[in-house]
Structure 1
């Protein structure tokens, strides 16, 4: 039996980060999410923008990784502290207000007919 080479990276990590950013943006403006939870992304943004870091940005790869780690951790904490039903709604797991879908017209409201345009 040959050993399969295991990949050490996740190719979908950028798409998950983007999805979590979009979800956090929607949750930030949702009235059903408490103010305590909404404080988390604001504190993370303040940490990223502040000149005081755990690892200074002068050490380029490490300073950027520090900010990126704070961003990912803050997003996860915010999503975890938001109401689960609201998160599930925005992720499309349950129908509701989160995804604004157009309702299909019921069949009984459709009126079929013919028309004709006459120039006068």
Structure 2
């Protein structure tokens, strides 16, 4: 059970980092676009696995959203990513 709590903590920090990417004017447009796409996928009713399947539908949203955020972070220059991680207190995943 402690692993689930740790995962939620990591995911929360990644969400704060995504918010920082959207707000920072130095972030490339590609990183901002992929971050917005991740948010849209999570809230979209169109999924690979429907949310009516209780656990798998939610895992699908979370994993694809997380992977899209990781892709968005790849578009950031290393020094900007380090600066944003330091600002939000997130460690590299």
Q: 1:64 aligned to 2:58?
A: yes
Q: Structure 2: 5+ residue runs without aligned partners?
A: 89-93
Structure number having the greater helix percentage: 2
Q: Tell me how large the CA RMSD over aligned residues is.
A: 1.9
Match of 2:49 in 1: 55
Match of 2:23 in 1: 29
Structure 1 residue ranges (4+ consecutive) displaced by more than 3 angstroms after TM superposition: none
Report the TM-score, using the length of structure 2 for normalisation.
0.79
**CA distance, structure 2, for counterparts of residue 43 and residue 50 of structure 1:** 10
**CA distance, structure 1, for counterparts of residue 77 and residue 68 of structure 2:** 16
Match of 1:17 in 2: 11
When residues 39 and 18 of structure 1 are mapped into structure 2, their CA distance, relative to the original with a 3 A threshold, is same
Greater RCO, 1 or 2 (C-alpha within 8 Å, sep 6+): 2
Report the TM-score, using the length of structure 1 for normalisation.
0.63
Superposed, which structure 2 residues align to 1:1-120 within 5 Å? 9=3, 12-92=6-86
* Per-residue deviation, 1:10: 7.1
Q: Structure 1: 5+ residue runs without aligned partners?
A: 1-8, 93-97, 100-120
What secondary structure is seen at the aligned counterpart in 2 of 1:51? coil
